[in-house]
Structure formats: structure tokens, C-alpha cells
Amino acid sequence: MSTIQDKQLTDIVVEDIMISSEKVAHVQLNNPLEHALLVLVKSGYSAVPVLDASYKLVGTIGKTIILNEILGLERFEIEKLSDMRVHEVMNTDIPSLSRDDSFMNGLKAVINNTFVCVSDDEGYFDGIVTRRAILKQMKRDFYTNRND
């Protein structure tokens, strides 16, 4: 069985480089913003996927969008963190990939996003592809071809 190290970029598919769903921090639609902010701050991630109760992908939520939402005229309205839910502020206009998408589709998707979610035909969340993973494969390919 060939490992990803043996593969040409043109043979790599999204599944080969994605972080699978079990290892991805996420929040759910009905979580209070406070929970989402805790997950983001504790994990150190700038944004994470939002899933519904059946683990379907519905959006992403990040620190900036939450902080903007609770920013009042003169102070952060901290009480909003427990009053508001993730579905009220999340970003639903997001690109997504499928496991069998090509490396090039992954590359195009991360040009404007630090990570892109992967879902199946029915919308169930499979994982994410990060810009870091794409760049790592491109670096490997560059050095491999230079040494040939």
C-alpha cells in the first residue's frame, strides 16, 4: 500500500491530508456563545466548525465574530455571551470539500481560508483540511522534484 510520501501531488486526494472529525474541536448550533469562546480560547484556534445535533456541518464560528457581536459602544457586553447562541452569529457561507476531491481543489479552497471543512454527500462532517497541510505537501513535492 502506498503512503502519502510516495504519492505525487496529482495523486493526493483530500482524504489523504485531512484531519479527521474525531480530532477536530467543534461547537454545536445551540451552544451559548460563552461555550464557543471557551473552546476557541482553550484550543488556541481562531475558528472551529459548527455542527447540528446529528453531526452535520452547518457553519463555522471564530473569535473575531464573537467579539464583534458583544462589542457595545463603550464596553464588551459580556452578558450577551450567555444570552446568545452559536446559530445567531455563525458564518454559514462557507466552502466545503469532499473526501475524494483533488489536491488542487483543496489548494484553491485554502487560498482564502486557513482551513476548509470536509463533508459527505449527505452533509455529515468528515473533518478539515488546513492551509498548513496543503503547504507541507507542496514543500515536500518541491524538494522531491528538485532532488530528482
- Interacting residues with ligand AMP (CB under 6 A): 19, 23-25, 45-48, 114-115, 128, 130-132
Under 8 Å CB-to-CB from 93, ≥6 apart: which residues? none
123 touches 146 (CB < 8 A):
no
For residues 103 and 115, which CB has a smaller minimum distance to ligand AMP in the complex?
Answer: 115
**Toward ligand AMP, which CB reaches closer, 44 or 72?**
44
Nearer to ligand AMP, 8 or 64 (CB): 64
Calculate the CA 70 to chain-centre distance.
23
Pick between residue 102 and residue 130 the one whose CB is nearest to ligand AMP: 130
Please give the Cα distance from 101 to 118 (Å, whole number): 9
39 Cβ contact list (under 8 Å, min separation 6): 25, 27, 48
Least separation in angstroms between residue 137's CB and ligand AMP is 13
Residue 55 Cβ, how far from ligand AMP at the closest point, in Å? 14
CB of 9 to ligand AMP, least distance (A): 18
Minimum CB distance to ligand AMP, residue 115 (Å): 3
Q: How far apart are CA 24 and CA 112, in angstroms?
A: 20
